[in-house]
Chain A
């Protein structure tokens, strides 16, 4: 080995890189430091890569550099091209790359003799096996998540008969293969390779099947769970290669993803296990209690025209906008921001209420609103704003459904019973923007739509919002005039 620097120096760089990664995550704790955090992450990564490359022999460095340049270009193009509404898909597909890379590293380790004996060899074999297992699950799982988010695959959960038993059998089979792999040792030739390949295939199937069984509405949990897995895969690779930086980074990412999943699950009042085992929304055939006892007899939703919505907004001093995935799909965030600006200029208080699981990624709505230049200090979390609905004149529900469904509180038989929701119905007026008359993502009837305060504005969210914007501009002919708030 004719490395440029000694392994001691490389390790020091690794320490720096690990510290920078921790600081990068800490920087994300609020908006003002977030960009600095990201930069620190980049610096950490550059240090880590430089140190590793400098520690390599000549020939390896060449191969590595060419791969890196190619990968860097592809990654940069992806990042520059992606629309903010497609962010969930991008994140999912990037997770699959980490998973696949972990599998490849595992196989590379397998074919490269490590020259270990006894317990060390066994431990190495276990590490390798676990790394490939987690990597393969991450890979196929992320591909399926991508497919569901992109709309290539149906978002409805696919429920194979006896899927829990199937998962159990597969887990047992993988453990068995693992034991045979460890015993034969990774220098054990074909037996070991076959065991490893077989397990990879099984793990791939498990990843596919796990995510297929999870409904589209649970995607925030799935994506953050896969994020966590990609971390654990990296950590496993770290153990396998005896590389502390990989271990530290993998653990950071793994615990971060796990916490995010936990936060999302809590936001939906469901246990992590029930989300992972899937099947949510499958019991939609079961009729929820015939309306709620508060709503009285079944009524039809009342429609409202865009002109009336504009007039309503003009007469409102306090407005809350509740965005959901529908806003993302319709790309309605830009006209929404224009309306917000117009109303704010004329003295109304306009705020956004973000439910933790709105959209398909944790924090998805925040990113979209930020893209549309909505200032983040009027974008509030559920807990911050939920008590303000009774004093709100008008609530606009933009392509959201389950997160404003009162049956979560009122109807104990509802599949979303107990899930914290935005109490939009406490406002004086609620306008729901909706494409058609169907139920929400989770397939649950929404009694909000038939409440006395609620009006429905049917149609594509973007064109509706556009028309409202035009109508409002008409209502505010000269901007010098003070608002017409009563």
Chain B
């Protein structure tokens, strides 16, 4: 079955410069087998991609009506507005950012129209889906652009210099919220020579912040782990918030630039930089609020505008930061889309076959409407895999530890330990059978044998318990030690060797041979273990 025709309409949202495809991503789609790609006339113009550049890679430039008529899959950046939805037809599929929680009427419109819609913002943040994680792609660029915007408004250099014309002190940047955007901002500011500090409620962010070359700030006196789900933070206790405010208040007096990126999913952005803090900042200072669209982290923020306070602090509330770097973000978003379409058309048998497969965790989570039904929110899955922001998406070569790595490791460990003692209690049937067998033995076997059996059983349990605690690194020494110990068969040989050559020559000779072999084993086993263990050493650190 040929793959469906792809259509990329021009974005209608005011000031939206991004485009859901670039010549590069069109080429990728073609390689994946999507033979027919339609681009609306002028769709890429604002992002710097001319119609010609699309035709050169084999896409067709069409007008709006043809596009909606012929394309089976529509790729967009912004959620379709109601006029766009009207143009769509039943059975058509649209992929874009949707924010279904904030846009219930959009879901209604899409489902009434019979359009299947996939929300890029609903792609789960699991390892496999990292390459489709458009939110991270956008956040990464937004963080970079936030610094550029700040630098644009800020009247001084970022890097400290001693020049013939005097000393320039370096700019001090505070980043609040060390998610993908925050880390990207921290790395960018650092790269420009500023002194960078970052704050996050999740302890795991410390390493990531430090890896970007920034200083990690902590509140004093309150210990609380703010790790929430999906790579976001959760809301904190009042005591923590108070301590946090005290920290910000002190920092506001000291820093020149504050970048805020704090978001809590499904809630308005927390107010973190209060009016009095802004008022205490030096004139000329800049605040860039990346949470402006969700109400802003700063008291002065006005979405989409730059506000200058009475004491000369500029509060930048642009909500279109990714769109301001449309060439880059279109490229990243286009590639995210390619990966999604690749997944949706992948087929084990080799030939590609496009489908909306609800067994695919990623597709299921992203699909918000299908065949006249609203399929959002997806059914809850048991403990979804912990999120990891796309480390690869961070522009700097420095490393960023995936946000919940440490926390993810903990449950796995616990699980491993739980399974270490697999069902300490065997099932009832086995116990009953064992009981019957033992009863039979008790009737028939001599008491001496039963005494030995007790010893044997207990030793098995002891061995079982002891060996589980052996560290895997020592499994080889464990084996050579147990091997040496099993040379205890020597005792058997000894007992027979004592039968005496004259009295029972055969048994004595066999016993002596057994002794020889067993001693080789004992000496060899213990010595080689000793040799191995000597080599294990701890690092100097």
What's the minimum C-beta distance from A437 to chain B, rounded to whole angstroms?
23
For residue A143, CB closer than 8 A to chain B, the reply is no
Distance between Cα atoms of A94 and B32 in the complex (Å): 57
For residue A318, CB closer than 8 A to chain B, the reply is yes
Known: A28-B481, A38-B477, A38-B526. A79 touches B531 (CB 8 A): yes
| Binary contact track B95-107/A, C-beta < 8 Å → 1, others 0 | 0000000000000
Enumerate chain A residues within 8 angstroms of B496, measured Cβ to Cβ. 105, 108-109, 112
Whether A255 pairs with B467 at a CB distance below 8 angstroms is: yes
Enumerate chain A residues within 8 angstroms of B455, measured Cβ to Cβ. 244, 247-248
Distance between Cα atoms of A22 and B467 in the complex (Å): 9
Enumerate chain A residues within 8 angstroms of B456, measured Cβ to Cβ. 235, 238-239, 247-248, 251
Whether A87 pairs with B506 at a CB distance below 8 angstroms is: no
For residue B523, CB closer than 8 A to chain A, the reply is yes
Known: A57-B498, A235-B456, A426-B127. A290 touches B350 (CB 8 A): yes
Known: A59-B501, A98-B489, A252-B485. A387 touches B471 (CB 8 A): no
Q: Which of B391, B499, B514, B518 contacts A390 (CB 8 A)?
A: B391
Enumerate chain A residues within 8 angstroms of B536, measured Cβ to Cβ. 31, 34, 366, 370, 376
Most chain A CB atoms below 10 A, which of B476, B480, B483, B513: B476
Whether B495 pairs with A52 at a CB distance below 8 angstroms is: yes
What's the minimum C-beta distance from A370 to chain B, rounded to whole angstroms?
4
For residue B448, CB closer than 8 A to chain A, the reply is yes
Distance between Cα atoms of A383 and B473 in the complex (Å): 13
Interface size of A in residues (CB-CB distance below 8 Å): 136
- Residues facing B in A21-37 (CB within 8 A) are 21-22, 24-26, 28-31, 34-35, 37
Enumerate chain A residues within 8 angstroms of B530, measured Cβ to Cβ. 35, 38
For residue B488, CB closer than 8 A to chain A, the reply is yes
Enumerate chain A residues within 8 angstroms of B499, measured Cβ to Cβ. 60, 108, 112
Q: Which of B464, B501, B513, B526 contacts A41 (CB 8 A)?
A: B526
Whether A101 pairs with B397 at a CB distance below 8 angstroms is: no
For residue A363, CB closer than 8 A to chain B, the reply is yes
Whether A45 pairs with B485 at a CB distance below 8 angstroms is: yes
Enumerate chain A residues within 8 angstroms of B462, measured Cβ to Cβ. 22, 251-252
For residue B434, CB closer than 8 A to chain A, the reply is no
Distance between Cα atoms of A48 and B536 in the complex (Å): 29
Nearest chain-A residue to B396 (Cβ)? A486
Enumerate chain B residues within 8 angstroms of A379, measured Cβ to Cβ. 473
Q: Which of B402, B479, B517 contacts A101 (CB 8 A)?
A: B517
Known: A255-B464, A362-B476. A239 touches B449 (CB 8 A): yes
Contacts A52-B494, A84-B535, A361-B479 supplied; 17 other A-B pairs, CB < 8 Å? A24-B481, A24-B485, A41-B529, A52-B491, A56-B495, A67-B516, A75-B521, A76-B527, A78-B528, A105-B489, A108-B496, A244-B455, A246-B489, A251-B460, A293-B343, A384-B409, A387-B412
Q: Which residues of A contact B (CB under 8 A)?
A: 18, 21-22, 24-26, 28-31, 34-35, 37-38, 41-42, 44-45, 48-49, 52-53, 56-57, 59-61, 63-64, 66-68, 70-76, 78-80, 82, 84, 87, 90-91, 94-95, 97-98, 100-102, 104-105, 107-109, 111-112, 119-120, 123, 223-224, 227, 230-231, 233-235, 237-257, 259-260, 263, 289-290, 293-294, 296-297, 315, 317-318, 354, 356, 361-364, 366-367, 370-371, 373, 375-379, 381, 383-384, 387-388, 390-393, 413, 423, 426, 428, 485-486
Which 4 residue pairs across A and B have the least CB separation, nearest first? A71-B519, A60-B498, A75-B523, A375-B539
A-B contact pairs, 25 of them (CB 8 A): A24-B485, A28-B474, A34-B474, A34-B477, A35-B530, A59-B498, A60-B499, A74-B516, A76-B524, A80-B531, A108-B492, A108-B510, A119-B444, A237-B489, A245-B488, A248-B455, A250-B459, A251-B463, A253-B485, A257-B479, A259-B467, A366-B475, A375-B537, A375-B538, A391-B402
